[in-house]
């Protein structure tokens, strides 16, 4: 019986391959696709983005698992902000390349005003853990401490001020992300890899 089903499947596939379709090339949502049409039936062929499926992380202790799940929930909230921050940082580095310090400050000041209007309220409403995960995402991608990023963009005094303020909330901006220091954070940041969305 099994061989009979395989035989009919092969015959069906062979006959289906002989069907003649009209082929068109077009663009849907910015992606080139092939459209095949025959007797009112339409088949769209497109390359899909790579998808990675991983098994859930295993931890020795239930506390680590609970913290991992909590961090994942928070990471899902701050991930779009981290992607946008990295994009803006890269764009800013390109725009200010070769410019004088005065011109750089002017560009940064104009961008800061626009960003304050757009992001001040949502970022103020983040929890401490969400803020920590956001900074770690940015630090991991840029491979430098958040303190150095602020110092580079806003100057030493601003970096000092924000570092002192962050210490009140239990975080030192000079503490750069180090792989292996916190396996739970490593697992979450691996799940939310910013490189694929840039």
First to last CA, the chain: 52
- Per residue in 9-27, pLDDT (tens digit) is 545 555 555 557 788 888 8
Mean pLDDT of the chain: 81
Q: Are 90 and 79 in contact (CB under 8 A)?
A: no
How far is Cα 118 from Cα 112, in angstroms, rounded to an integer?
10
pLDDT of residue 52: 65
Rounded to 5 degrees, φ, ψ at 54 are -120, 155
How far is Cα 157 from Cα 75, in angstroms, rounded to an integer?
29
Give residue limits of the domains in the chain.
Answer: 20-49, 62-197
Percent of the chain with pLDDT strictly greater than 70:
86
How far is Cα 33 from Cα 102, in angstroms, rounded to an integer?
48
Beta bridge partners of 22: 37
Q: Is the pLDDT of residue 110 over 90?
A: no
pLDDT of residue 4: 42
- Per residue in 40-91, pLDDT (tens digit) is 777 777 777 776 666 667 777 788 888 998 999 999 999 999 998 898 888 8
- Per residue in 140-151, pLDDT (tens digit) is 998 999 899 888
How far is Cα 78 from Cα 177, in angstroms, rounded to an integer?
17
pLDDT of residue 79: 92
Rounded to 5 degrees, φ, ψ at 175 are -75, 100
pLDDT of residue 19: 58
Q: Are 133 and 140 in contact (CB under 8 A)?
A: no
pLDDT of residue 20: 75
Q: Is the pLDDT of residue 194 over 90?
A: no
Mean pLDDT of 169-191: 88
How far is Cα 174 from Cα 140, in angstroms, rounded to an integer?
13
Q: If pLDDT is split at 50, 70 and 90, which confidence band does 7 have?
A: very low
Place of tokens 């292996």: 180
| 105 vs 56, residue with greater confidence | 105
Mean pLDDT of 165-170: 86
């Amino acid at each position: 019986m099994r061989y009979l089903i395989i035989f009919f499947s092969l015959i069906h596939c062979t006959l289906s391959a002989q069907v003649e379709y009209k082929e068109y090339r077009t663009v849907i949502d910015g992606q080139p696709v092939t459209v095949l049409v025959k007797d009112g039936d339409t088949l769209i062929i497109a390359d899909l983005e790579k998808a990675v499926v991983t098994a859930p992380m295993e931890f020795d202790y239930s506390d680590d698992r609970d913290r991992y799940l909590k961090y994942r929930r928070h990471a899902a909230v701050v991930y779009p902000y981290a992607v946008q921050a990295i994009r803006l940082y890269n764009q800013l580095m390109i725009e200010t390349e070769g410019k004088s310090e005065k011109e750089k400050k002017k560009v940064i000041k104009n961008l800061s005003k626009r960003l304050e209007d757009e992001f001040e309220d949502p970022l103020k409403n983040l929890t401490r853990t969400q803020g920590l995960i956001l900074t770690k995402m940015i630090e991991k991608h840029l491979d430098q401490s958040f303190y150095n990023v602020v110092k580079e963009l806003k100057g030493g005094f601003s970096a000092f001020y924000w570092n002192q303020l962050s210490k009140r909330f239990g975080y030192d901006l000079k503490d750069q992300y180090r792989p292996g220091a916190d396996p739970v954070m490593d697992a979450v940041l691996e799940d939310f890899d910013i490189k694929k969305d840039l």
